[in-house]
Amino acid sequence: MKTFIKWGLLVLFTLAGIFLLGNLNKAFINQAPDLLQVGTGEEPTLEYVSSLLPGSAVQSEEDKILRVPYAQVDEYAAKAKRISGVWYARSVPLEKPVISFKSYWYSVTDQVKGYFEGDFGSIRGPTGTWEIPIGDAVKDMFGRSFSYLIPGLLLAVCSALLLSLLASLSRQAGRFMDGIHTMLLGLPDFVLVTGLTITAIFTYKSIGVRLFNVAAFGDTVPFYLPLFTISLIPGVLIYGTLRLAIQRELEQDYVVTAKAKGLSGREVLLNHVLRNITDDLLTIMPKATNLALGSMVVAEAFCDILGLGGIIVSPKLFGVSAMPVSCLVLAVISILFHTVYVLLRKRFVVRIREVA
């Protein structure tokens, strides 16, 4: 019970931290959150306009500025524009951007209230002419993201496992792959995306062969580019972990005994060593999954894919008020993967304890 409470609190604190960080941009403002500039002629007067906008007051008659309730400038601007004789109604820019904890706190509390009312944010199109709730779009986003996240993770695990076994069977192959591993260890995922994209474009322009799609267009969504991007960094991490684990197991006494009985190196690896490195694989998988999720966001942003991560920075969209929700969804996915790995370790890893 104590373990359950501990992990439950850890999950709650993690989600709360991600939510607060996801709204950090709301602390930076460049427009007054409680001032509204209204353009009129001689009629109507600013006092008259203020009388039609309950909760407002004249701030500056000369500059035609009203003081309105905090963070409700847009709502009052829309109401003011409906008044006859009002030419325009707009927010008042600040002399320089400032950090406002009041604005941040107001935005956070307002979002929390919206969540309890079922409003989880929305996505708006390039011209702002259409807007859809995040709940209606999340199904399609899940489908796009998981169509290459899961295959990318499987490719990373399978390729890392096969290459680590091959490196242990052949000394020359081991030296070569260890060298490649060292080179790739510090390679950022965006470098891979850029390199593959340039290669695909150059190949198409040179010989007219399209290797793979590099950007989303209509119903066409790139697959191979996100797949390779997602699998590379986690695969490098898993390979290094399994390579060391296999070397550790090969130095154990049971391997020496098995070889003394006439078993070949391949039989020892497949029948004994492979089973004993399961714990190492499941231990590194949570970190590898987090790296895969990060690479997925990079790939979606680069390829302009409207997935769970791509909606945050996509130039196709005018605005996304659901960014904190997207971050929370990615965090929940990571937590669910971590839970699966914990259950798998309890199921397949044998724990041995000394008894006095």
Q: What whole-number distance in Å separates Cα of residue 20 and Cα of residue 116?
A: 17
Please check the confidence at residue 353 and state whether its pLDDT lies above 70: no
Phi, psi of 334, rounded to the nearest 5 degrees: -60, -45
Q: What is the DSSP string of 258-281?
A: HHHTT--HHHHIIIIIHHHTHHHH
Bridge partner residues of 217 (DSSP)? 220
133 pLDDT band, cuts 50/70/90, is: confident
**pLDDT the model gives residue 213:** 72
CATH number for the segment(s) 135-348: 1.10.3720.10
Across 225-233, average pLDDT: 86
Least confident residue range of 18-27, 75-84, 234-243, 333-342: 18-27
**pLDDT the model gives residue 124:** 66
Instruction: Please state the pTM of the whole predicted model.
Output: 0.73
Least confident residue range of 41-50, 290-299, 338-347: 41-50
Please check the confidence at residue 159 and state whether its pLDDT lies above 80: yes
Q: What is the pLDDT of residues 253-308, one digit of tens each?
A: 888 888 787 777 778 888 888 888 888 999 999 999 998 988 888 888 777 787 87
Least confident residue range of 6-10, 45-49, 74-78, 271-275: 6-10
**What percent of the chain stands above pLDDT 90?**
12
Least confident residue range of 44-53, 79-88, 122-131, 231-240: 122-131
42 pLDDT band, cuts 50/70/90, is: confident
Listed residue (303, 123, 114, 115) closest to 226, CA to CA = 303
Residues in the chain: 356
**pLDDT the model gives residue 350:** 61
Phi, psi of 65, rounded to the nearest 5 degrees: -115, 130
Residue partners of 224: CB distance under 8 A and separation at least 6: 211, 212, 213
> Which of 114-118, 177-181, 260-264, 319-323 shows the highest mean pLDDT?
177-181
> Do 93 and 290 touch, CB atoms closer than 8 A?
no
Q: In the chain, where are the structural domains located? A: 2-119, 135-348
Across 209-227, average pLDDT: 73
**What percent of the chain stands above pLDDT 70?**
87
> Do 85 and 23 touch, CB atoms closer than 8 A?
no
**pLDDT the model gives residue 356:** 44
Cβ atoms within 10 Å of 205's Cβ, excluding its own:
8
Judged by DSSP in three states, 32 sits in strand
Please check the confidence at residue 216 and state whether its pLDDT lies above 90: no
> Do 23 and 107 touch, CB atoms closer than 8 A?
yes
Q: What is the pLDDT of residues 162-205, one digit of tens each?
A: 999 999 888 898 899 888 888 887 777 677 777 777 887 778 77
> Average pLDDT, whole number, for the chain?
81
Helix ranges, 211-277 (H): 224-250, 253-260, 265-268, 274-276
> Do 230 and 292 touch, CB atoms closer than 8 A?
yes
**pLDDT the model gives residue 240:** 92
Least confident residue range of 2-6, 235-239, 273-277, 317-321: 317-321
- Biggest CA–CA distance in the chain, Å, is 104
Alpha-carbon 252 to chain mean position: 41
Least confident residue range of 73-82, 159-168, 201-210: 201-210
Across 211-223, average pLDDT: 70
Please check the confidence at residue 106 and state whether its pLDDT lies above 80: yes
**pLDDT the model gives residue 154:** 94
217 pLDDT band, cuts 50/70/90, is: low
- For the chain, the first-to-last Cα distance in angstroms comes to 27
> Do 177 and 162 touch, CB atoms closer than 8 A?
no
Cα–Cα distance list, 2 to 5, 42, 204, 273 (Å): 5, 71, 59, 35
Query: In terms of C-beta density within 10 A (0-12 exposed, 13-18 middle, 19 or more buried), how is residue 351 classed?
Result: exposed
Q: Which pair of tokens denotes residue 123?
A: 């996505």
